[in-house]
């Protein structure tokens, strides 16, 4: 997938999927699949760098990082992505956006969006306006209805709520893949190495929704292999004070140095809430119990076919 934010497409006609795509959940994928069904056209995405979107209020938290969002969009099959900072276009009139960005910069022959899509200054443009501008500037518009899951409307806000409450199995079902991170491994205090439970530490970036603090069954991607993981999300109250939230993961059966590498981590099931233990022996025994449970539970949740995590 080529980033054309600063260049635009030169001389190629595209089918453009439009949206913020925070989480790239199953509803978003319907928009992508509809756009990309036009096999005669190049596959393009218009989105924003999610962390710059200030129209959702000061308390807005992203589901995933922008870099991981782009990874998922690339896995979906996009040829091009146009992803400016929100402030650069927020005052652009809706018609100018259709003419100058969609048609002029992206070469849109088809534009596809969800039924609630808004665009232009003060979000004055809606799907009807997009259809009208499409007729004027020479591109077709296709509108995708919002997706339900057993009567529940799939949305990024609902998935954020589920993640924050530790309802990770349900969140994963609505996402269509296992929620997690692709983050750099940083140095920790290395206490686990003295207990035969060496762990990797990944700092959860500011601006992301925080999962419920506690222990999760996880899946860890290292190269082409995947490993059972036991991940603690939180602040390690038994070990250290005043630290920022981390994902600390014991990788079952792996030996090696991962410092400085970006490692993909999937959260599969919430096991227990984070708590402070009275002694390191008590903590170590609890890690053993969690590890044995994770090894049994892991294969219930790892998606093997038809998902973007393979």
Give the predicted TM-score (pTM) of the model.
0.88
Determine the Cα–Cα distance for residues 233 and 243; give it in Å rounded to an integer.
12
* Model confidence pLDDT, tens digit, residues 226-261: 999 999 999 865 555 557 899 999 999 998 889 999
Distance CA 21, CA 77 (A): 15
143 contacts 179 by C-beta, under 8 angstroms: no
Same domain (yes/no): 140, 259: no
- Determine the pLDDT at residue 54: 82
**Based on the domain organization, do 142 and 222 belong to the same domain?**
no
The residue segments making up the domain with residue 191 are 155-301
Dist CA 48 CA 91 (whole Å):
14
Q: Based on the structure, what is the number of domains in the chain?
A: 2
β-pair type (80-82, 180-184): unpaired
140 and 15 belong to one structural domain? yes
Q: Do 145 and 162 fall into the same domain?
A: no
The answer to the question of residue 243 being in a domain is: yes
Distance CA 284, CA 278 (A): 11
Same domain, 97 and 181: no
Of the three residues 130, 152, 174, the one that is the final residue of a domain is 152
Specify burial of residue 32 (Cβ count, 10 A radius: 0-12, 13-18, 19+). Answer: buried
Task: Give yes or no for a contact between 20 and 48, defined as CB atoms under 8 angstroms apart.
Answer: yes
Q: What is the pLDDT of residues 117-126, one digit of tens each?
A: 999 998 899 9
Residues 54, 55, 58, 59, CA torsion sign: negative
Q: Are residues 21 and 111 in the same domain?
A: yes
Per-residue confidence (pLDDT) for residue 278, from 0 to 100: 65
**Among candidate residues 92, 126, 152, the one where a domain is terminated:** 152
Cα 294 versus chain centre, distance: 23
The whole-angstrom separation of Cα 252 and Cα 299 is 14
Instruction: List pLDDT tens digits, range 154-200.
Output: 999 999 999 999 999 999 999 999 999 999 999 876 555 545 678 89
Whether 260 maps to a domain, the answer reads yes
- Domain match, 175 and 289 both: yes
Q: Are 181 and 229 in contact (CB under 8 A)?
A: no
Nearest CA-CA partner of 200 in 183, 217, 178, 216: 183
Q: What is the pLDDT of residue 236?
A: 67
Same structural domain for residues 160 and 147? Answer: no
Spans of the chain below 70 pLDDT: 189-196, 236-242, 278, 302-310
pLDDT of residue 15: 97
CATH number of domain containing 228: 2.40.30.30
């Amino acid at each position: 997938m080529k980033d054309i934010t600063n260049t635009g497409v030169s001389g190629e006609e595209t089918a453009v999927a439009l949206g913020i795509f925070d989480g790239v959940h199953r509803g978003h994928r319907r928009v992508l699949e509809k756009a990309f069904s036009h096999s005669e056209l190049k596959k393009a995405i218009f989105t924003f760098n999610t962390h710059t979107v200030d129209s959702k209020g000061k308390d807005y938290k992203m589901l995933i990082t922008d870099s991981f969002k782009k990874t998922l969009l690339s896995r979906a099959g996009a040829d091009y992505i146009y992803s400016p900072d929100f402030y650069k276009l927020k005052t652009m009139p809706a018609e100018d956006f259709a003419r100058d960005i969609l048609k002029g910069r992206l070469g849109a022959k088809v534009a596809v969006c969800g039924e609630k899509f808004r665009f232009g200054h003060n979000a004055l443009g809606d799907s009807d306006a997009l259809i009208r501008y499409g007729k004027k500037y020479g591109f077709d518009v296709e509108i995708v209805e919002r997706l339900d899951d057993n009567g529940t409307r799939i949305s990024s806000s609902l998935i954020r709520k589920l993640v924050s409450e530790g309802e990770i199995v349900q969140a994963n079902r609505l996402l269509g893949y296992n929620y997690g991170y692709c983050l750099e491994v940083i140095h920790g205090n290395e206490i686990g190495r003295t207990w035969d439970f060496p762990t990797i530490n990944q700092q959860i970036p500011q601006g992301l929704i925080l999962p419920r603090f506690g222990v999760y069954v996880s899946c860890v991607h290292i190269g082409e292999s995947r490993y059972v993981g036991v991940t603690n999300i939180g602040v390690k109250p038994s070990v250290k004070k005043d630290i920022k939230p981390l994902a600390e993961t014991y990788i079952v059966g792996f030996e090696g140095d991962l410092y400085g590498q970006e490692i993909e981590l999937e959260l599969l099931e919430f096991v227990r809430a984070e708590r402070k233990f009275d002694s390191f022996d008590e903590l170590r025994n609890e890690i053993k119990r969690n590890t044995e449970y994770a090894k049994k539970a892991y294969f219930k949740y790892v998606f093997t076919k038809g998902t973007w995590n393979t």
